[in-house]
Amino acid sequence: MRVRTLIAGAAAGVLALTLTACGSSSSTSTTSTPSASASTAAVLTLQDGWAKSTDSMSADKKTMTGVFGMLKNTGSTPLTITGGSSAAGKMVQMHETVMNSSGTMQMQEAKAGFTIPAGGTFELKPGANHIMVMDLVKDLKVGDTVSIDLKTSAGVITVTAAVRAFPGGSESYNPSPSMSH
């Protein structure tokens, strides 16, 4: 199952790359850049990265956001993301979807982090694996960007996501992802 997902992801990555080569590159706001603290050139990128805006959330839901897109490991060794930080929120976690005992799909922290195979991709999407930025300290406005410093086995790598309006991503969590609640 996991292998199949990765293959599908890789195919999508190739497509995006082909389109870029044809001159239909996406706006620069969605490409990732290496941070100053990155130990090497960015071997991890987030393609078509986006995050749910807080201005498209109801007032009581503005505490966290999901980050989605296609993680791509251009290196020759597998890469694991174990955590991260962001100026936008107090906490960054990797989340996965699991089925709970009542048969409902629920989000929970992926304690082992995300591992992206060498030369492979790892898809982040609503209702599946994604990155959460929690305890937001500022509004994320549609059309702005949010940067995240990902703690990885290859050092800290900064990725950027475009903030967009999105009504989804309000799934139930187990346990509640925000420690302060």
Partner 1 sequence: MSSPDTTGGTARRGFLTSAAGAAGALALAGWTATAPSGASTPTGTTAGTAVGSATGTRPFRGRHQSGIIDHPQPYAAFVAFDLHPDVDKDALRRLFVVLTDDIERLMAGRGSLTDQETELAAVSADLTITVAVGARLVALAGATPPSWLAPLPAFSIDRLEERWGGGDLCLQVCASSPTTVAHAQRRLIAGLVTLASVRWVQRGFREPFEGPGRPMRNLLGQVDGTIQPAVNGPDDDLLWCGASAPAWLRDGSALVVRRIEMHLDTWDAVDRHSRENAIGRRLDTGAPVTAPAGAPAETAADLFAKDSLGFHVIDDGAHMRRAHATAPHERFLRRPYSYDDVPPPGKTSDSGLIFAAYMADPVRQFVPVQQRLAEKDLLNIWTTPVGSAVFAVLPGAAEGHLLGEALLGL
* CA-angle at 68, arms to 169 and 4, nearest 5°: 105
Q: What is the DSSP letter of 20?
A: H
- 97 binding partner 1? (CB under 8 A): no
Kindly state the tokens that stand for 93.
């976690």
Site string for partner 1, 102-131 (x = CB under 8 A): ------------------------x-----
Of 127, 109, 147, the C-alpha closest to 29 is 147
Q: Which listed residue (5, 29, 63, 178) binds partner 1 by CB under 8 A?
A: 29
Nearest-approach distance from CB 18 to partner 1, in angstroms: 11
- 142 binding partner 1? (CB under 8 A): yes
Nearest-approach distance from CB 48 to partner 1, in angstroms: 6
Q: Which listed residue (6, 33, 48, 96) binds partner 1 by CB under 8 A?
A: 48
**63: how many CB neighbours lie within 10 A of its CB?**
16
Name the residue nearer to partner 1 (CB basis): 109 or 144.
144
**11-18 own/partner pairs: CB under 8 Å, 24+ apart:** 12/70, 12/121, 12/123, 13/47, 13/70, 13/72, 13/121, 16/47, 16/48, 16/70
Binding-site size for partner 1 (CB under 8 A) equals 26
Residues at the contact surface with partner 1, assessed by CB under 8 A: 16, 19, 23-30, 48, 50, 53, 55-56, 126, 141-144, 162, 164-168
